[in-house]
């Protein structure tokens, strides 16, 4: 009887082991098929974008392409900066100080991804209820610091990694 049982146990072990090992292999095969759709090495290495900002007057802005997305560079006037900083944090759906969205000492330069955080449309400048941007797709209003004030978008517009190479050049990425 015990001999029989042993036999059964060994067989069960064999089958379980085969199935388990087979499943592990299947998983290992599936991964490359999924990973191939991630950004490839050339995409990951994509260059940074350098922008000449010497020609931008206060109050004006330019849009440049970085990683296939628009980036807004706005040179803000002192009034606009003051307006952005006068807002109470409690009034913001996604509270963030204007100071935290710009580089210290370069307060006039707002550099942000021009992509609505709702569903990815490009907001229009100088539109909307808060003197900033307005997304025409689903009606999100952003203020002059690019913070969401009204509408369906959940968060402020994103600030990319950027730095001032010199006083006239900004490097994004």
Partner 1 sequence: MSEHQYVPKSKAGKWFNDRLPLLTLGAHLTDYPTPKNLNYWWTFGGILTFCLITQIVTGIVLAMHYVAHADLAFASVEHIMRDVNYGWLIRYIHSNGASMFFLAVYIHIFRSLFYGSYKSPREVIWIIGLMIYLLMMAAAFMGYVLPWGQMSFWGATVITNLFSAIPLVGDSITTWLWGAYSVDNPTLNRFFSLHYLIPFLILGLVVLHIWALHVPGNNNPVGIDIKKPSKDTVPFHPYITIKDAFALLVFMIIFAGFVFFTPNVLGHSDNYIPANPLVTPAHIVPEWYLLPFYAILRSVPDKLGGVILMFSAIFILFVLPWLDTSKVRSAVFRPIYRQFFWILVIDVLMLGYVGAMPAEGIYLVLARVGTIYYFLHFIVVMPVVGYLEKTDPIPMSISEPVLTGGAEPSLARKVNDKV
Partner 2 sequence: MIKSKFKFVFFTFLLFVIIKPVQSAEMVDPIKVNWSFKGLTGTFDRAALQRGFQVYKEVCASCHSMQYLSYRNLGEPGGPEFSQEEVKAIAASFEISDGPDSQGEMFTRPGRPSDKFKSPYPNIQAATAANGGAYPPDMSVLVKARKGGANYIYSVLVGYEDPPQGVNLDDGVYYNKYMIGNKIKMPNNLIDGLVEYSDGTESTVDQMAKDVTTFLAWAAEPELEERHKIGVKVIIYLLLLTILVYLSMKKIWSRIDTEV
- Looking only at the bridges linking them, the beta strands covering 162-166 and 169-172 are antiparallel
3-state DSSP call for residue 165? Answer: strand
Window contacting partner 1 (CB under 8 A); options: 30-38, 91-99, 104-112, 162-170: 30-38
Least Å from the CB of residue 31 to partner 1: 8
Is residue 22 a contact point for partner 2 (CB under 8 A)?
yes
Is residue 14 a contact point for partner 2 (CB under 8 A)?
yes
- Residue pointed to by tokens 């941007």: 133
Is residue 3 a contact point for partner 2 (CB under 8 A)?
no
Q: Pinpoint the alpha helices (H) of 36-140.
A: 41-44, 78-86
Quote the CA–CA distance of 70 and 112 in Å, as a whole number. 9
Q: Is 138 annotated in the active site?
A: yes
Is residue 21 a contact point for partner 2 (CB under 8 A)?
yes
Cβ-in-10-Å burial (0-12, 13-18, 19+) of 147 comes to: buried
Least Å from the CB of residue 10 to partner 2: 8
- Residue pointed to by tokens 């050339």: 42
Is residue 41 a contact point for partner 1 (CB under 8 A)?
yes
Among residues 41 and 88, whose Cβ is nearest to partner 1? Answer: 41
- Residue pointed to by tokens 């072990």: 13
- Catalytic residue of the set 24, 82, 138, 168: 138
Q: Which partner in partner 1, partner 2, none is near 88 (CB below 5 to 8 A by kind)?
A: none
DSSP state, residue 1: -
Rounded (to 5) percent helix, strand, coil in the chain: 30, 25, 45
* Residue ranges in contact with partner 1 by CB under 8 A: 32-33, 35-38, 40-43
* Residue ranges in contact with partner 2 by CB under 8 A: 11, 14-15, 17-18, 21-22, 25, 28, 41-42, 45-47
- Annotated catalytic residues are 138
């Amino acid at each position: 009887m015990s001999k029989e049982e042993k036999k059964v146990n060994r067989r069960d072990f064999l089958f379980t082991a085969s199935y388990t090992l087979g499943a592990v292999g299947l998983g290992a095969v599936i991964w490359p098929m999924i990973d191939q759709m991630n950004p490839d090495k050339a995409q990951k290495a994509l260059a940074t974008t350098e922008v000449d900002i010497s020609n931008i007057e206060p109050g004006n802005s330019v849009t440049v392409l970085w990683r296939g997305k628009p980036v807004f560079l706005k040179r803000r006037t002192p009034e606009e900066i003051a307006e952005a900083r006068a807002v109470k944090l409690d009034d913001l759906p996604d509270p963030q100080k204007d100071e935290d969205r710009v580089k210290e000492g370069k307060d006039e330069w707002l550099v942000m991804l021009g992509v609505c955080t709702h569903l990815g449309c490009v907001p229009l400048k100088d539109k909307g209820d808060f003197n900033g941007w307005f997304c025409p797709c689903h009606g999100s209003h952003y203020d002059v610091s690019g913070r969401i004030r009204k509408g369906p978008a959940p968060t402020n517009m994103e600030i990319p990694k950027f730095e001032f190479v010199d006083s006239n050049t900004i490097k994004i990425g």
